[in-house]
Structure formats: structure tokens, C-alpha cells
Amino acid sequence: MSAVPVPPSSQRWLLPVLVVVVSLMVGGGLLAREVYRLPESTPDAVIALPSSTARPAAEQPGPGTVELTPDAAAHPQHAVISQLLQTYFDAINSRDYDQWKTTVTRARIQAKPRASWLEDYDSTKDGSILVYRIDAVTATDLRVLVGFTSIQDPTAAPAELPDATCVHWKLGLPVALEQGHWRVDAVAGYTTPEMSRC
């Protein structure tokens, strides 16, 4: 006659102890990963803060380099948007319509043909360009809050500031994903720009 073996009592607690040990190891590994994680790298962008000091008239409109606040630089698309706006403003400052067309949507190109664009920007020079924020509206639509200074012939001044030769602007630029590329979209009807004399 054969006896049925009785499982030793030590096997009953082996599985719960094993679960606890594995859980502690996983938790410890996750904690160590957080503690020893390398700090995030600084974005590859020109970081600046809004300046409260006025630039002398002889130095207006300021440098043509697009700068970002830390808030804007934290956005995942900051590098693409910074490069887009740099090309956009460079095109305006060099009166290069063909270059400008590479930065805007088809709708904006149709609304602003070459002759009209050249007339509008004939005497314009933009500088002191600062991106304050980049906000995602949808996966294909961003809003970029940007401030800049523009100098121009007094006859080209905005109607709200007649005869102004230097204007500080702050506006929300709509930026849309078109054919796989971010492009500045039409501003009219979307936002009311803030403007003041320098």
C-alpha cells in the first residue's frame, strides 16, 4: 500500500514570497531609473525673455534672429516652428517672395500674389522676434504667439497707427500642417494683432 505524499508547508508560502520579491525588484528598478535619470537636454533654440527696456530708435527693429521663451522652447515642435518663422521673416526682410511662399499655406499665397506682397513689404524690416507660446489646437493646427518690431516707410504704416515708422507687434499666428510641412496660415479673421508705436 502506497501513501499519498503531503506537500510540505514551506511550499504554500513560496509563491506569495516570490511575488513580493519580484514586485519589490520592479519597484526598486523604476525608482532607481527616476533617481538616476539624466537631466533633459536644453532645447536647441535661442532662448530669451521679454525685455522691458526700449531699444533706441537707431537700433530698431533689432536683430532678425527668431528667439523663443522657455515656455515656447518646451513645446515638442519648437525647432520646426523656430526654423519656419526664421525663414518667413528672412524672406520678408530680403524681399524674397519665392522664399516666403515656401513658408505659408496655399490659401495665403492665393490671397497675396507677388505684386501685392512686394508692395506691402517694400520698405518693411522686421526684428526683435520673440515666440512667446506654441499651442496645439489639433494635431494639424498650432497657434504661435509671436512679438516683433517692424520698421517701414510712414506711408506703409497700419491704419491704426498713421505715419508710424516703427511698430511693436504681438499676434497669434495660425500654423497649419499642409502636405506634411508646417506652414503659416492666413491671419485675417483669426486674430486681432496688438500694435503700438516704438
Q: Return d(Cα 117, Cα 109) in angstroms, integer.
A: 9
Question: Residue 19: which pLDDT band, with cuts at 50, 70 and 90?
Answer: low
pLDDT at 27: 47
pLDDT at 187: 75
- Match 491671419 to its residue by C-alpha cell: 187
Q: Return d(Cα 38, Cα 54) in angstroms, integer.
A: 39
Domains and CATH numbers, the chain: 57-197 (3.10.450.50)
C-alpha cell at position 34: 527616476
Average pLDDT rounded to a whole number, residues 51-76 = 89
Q: What is the CA 189 to chain-centroid distance, rounded?
A: 21
pLDDT at 33: 45
Q: Return d(Cα 171, Cα 181) in angstroms, integer.
A: 22
pLDDT, tens only, 135-180: 999 999 999 999 999 999 999 999 999 999 999 999 999 999 999 9
pLDDT at 45: 61
Q: Return d(Cα 13, Cα 176) in angstroms, integer.
A: 61
The more confident residue out of 185 and 37 is: 185
